[in-house]
Structure 1
Amino acid sequence: MFSLQKKTAAITGGGSGIGKAVAEVFAQQGAEVFILDLNKAAAEEVAKAIQAKGGKAHAFAVNVADNKQTKDVVAAIAQQAGRVDILVNSAGVSHIGRLDNTTEEDFDRVFTVNVKGVYNMMQAVIFQMKQQGGGVIVNLASIASSVGLPDRFAYSMSKGAVLTMTLSVAKDYLKDNIRCNCISPARVHTSFVDNFIAKTYPGQEKEMFEKLSKTQPIGRMGKPEEVAALALYLCSDEASFVTGTDYPLDGGFIRLNN
């Protein structure tokens, strides 16, 4: 079950964090993975690690906020592999702030990467997927898409847009055999979280890590591999009846945090 043999998968943000875990899991399940990341060195490192284990992986330096770059890389993947079966949009940036202290520059930066980046990649693959007779898209949204989080104004805006774009694409391309879903994680333990804690709470790293972990009712943060496992299901043939759905992966945060 959940085999991705003979499938090609493009994964943005694949050089680290959740995107890296998705690339590794998909390769383990037989997919030929194309790791797209702003940091080419990080993407190449992930690709080499996958190749060392017998998997098929390729690295591309891509700025998802650049429309031309996204179109060019999708064209390159289609030319090299013959098709693009799967797109996972994992690239994104975060921001801490309320409406009154979010600058226009910060707002634009978050929008450009988290919203326009997803738009660019989906638009780039949709023509290829229609031409080849189908495909699957999974977007990384957030619990911030659905609930109010303190000090996350711009980030919540961007992830709300990811959720609604997901629903629109799922609806518009039903007849083209293209499925589109999104995953909404709560806090996931990545190097980004560790760096954020070290920068924001120097000397209190252990205490703040435990505090942030306990904001999930289950008592801990998620693991990148857990997000990757759900993405694997959604991109597999076993999920062929699933589209237009948001999957909270939140340790009970949305329903049980009261």
Structure 2
Amino acid sequence: MSVLEMMSNKPASFTGRITLVTGGGSGIGRAVALGFAREGATVIVAGRGHGPLEETVKLIEAEGGRAEAITVDVTDTADVASLVQRIVDRHGRLDIAVNNAGTFTFGEVADLPESEWTRVFEVNTTGVFLAMKHQIAAMRQAGGGVIVNVSSNIGAHKRIPGLGAYAASKAAVTALSRTAALECVGDGIRVNTVSPGPHDTPMSLHPGESVAERAVRMKEQNPAGRVGSLDEITSAVLWLASDGAGFAVGQDLVLDGGASA
């Protein structure tokens, strides 16, 4: 049973909602974009790679949905501002934003190159800051909206040696999101976060590891005995964005099968 089914007697409907998903060219971002489109939203998928974004659009359109691909560098404030303005000019408003674009690095603190630290923070933390900065401005003009930021269970909830930069960047996303939630709720804008653990994406595979080998490892490492499915995280994001979650403000929904419990 999905989170949406558990939280509501009927599936959330986003018919007519204008929805932006960053990092929408693959993995969680693609799955979330498809989920919103299946519920009737018009979806704008954004990211650096035009080819993967167009593939997401084709998948949505093949199911009868409406989507558009726009390339963006989330670390460039002018680029992000242009993205949001383009959406507002074309559709009149921005109702929902899912800030999912992110990157990963591995290295112990004493050995991590400073350039890697900077790169991870620019994408994972500054990228979310810039996205919210411009999204909130547009949503305030429209009278409200919803933002869901994708963080990680590694950060505010769990630490792993070798992932210090990633953990710090994602913990910052959680803190930033909660602060913005308090600042914006009076304007009719809800900000929440989801923090996935290992899900069925390439990021959860160790170098050279097969899906079957990952399954064996997860049986030993994760209390739930498996990775999460993309449907499960999509359901959680859609619920947080739905009217049924109207009293959820500044929350960080951890989806990791009990790994950080």
Give the TM-score band, short-chain normalised. Answer: over 0.9
- AA aligned to 1:19 is G
Check conservation: 2:218, 2:225, Cα contact below 8 A: no
Query: Residues 186-215 of structure 1, C-alpha deviation per residue, up to 9 Å, x if partnerless?
Result: 111213334x532xx5xx774355214542
1:228 aligns with 2:239: no
1:59 aligns with 2:69: yes
Check conservation: 2:20, 2:44, Cα contact below 8 A: yes
Question: Paired residue for 1:164?
Answer: 175
Question: Paired residue for 1:36?
Answer: 46
Identity value in percent: 37
Q: How does 1:1-258 map to 2 (within 5 A)?
A: 1-145=11-155, 146-194=157-205, 196-198=206-208, 206-212=212-218, 214-255=220-261
Q: d(CA) in 1 for partners of 2:240 and 2:207? A: 32
Q: d(CA) in 2 for partners of 1:84 and 1:208? A: 39
Unaligned runs of 5+ in 1: none
Check conservation: 1:133, 1:177, Cα contact below 8 A: yes
Deviating beyond 4 angstroms after TM superposition, the runs of 4 or more aligned structure 1 residues are none
Check conservation: 1:227, 1:249, Cα contact below 8 A: yes
Given the two structures, how large is their TM-score scaled by the length of structure 1?
0.93
Q: d(CA) in 1 for partners of 2:110 and 2:219? A: 28
Unaligned runs of 5+ in 2: 1-10
RMSD over aligned Cα, in angstroms?
A: 1.4
- AA aligned to 1:95 is T
Q: d(CA) in 2 for partners of 1:135 and 1:95? A: 32
CA, structure 1 residues 56+208, in 2 after alignment: closer, same or farther (shift >3 Å)?
closer
Count of equivalent residues:
250
Given the two structures, how large is their TM-score scaled by the length of structure 2?
0.92
Q: d(CA) in 2 for partners of 1:168 and 1:116? A: 15
The 3-state SS of whatever aligns with 1:197 is coil
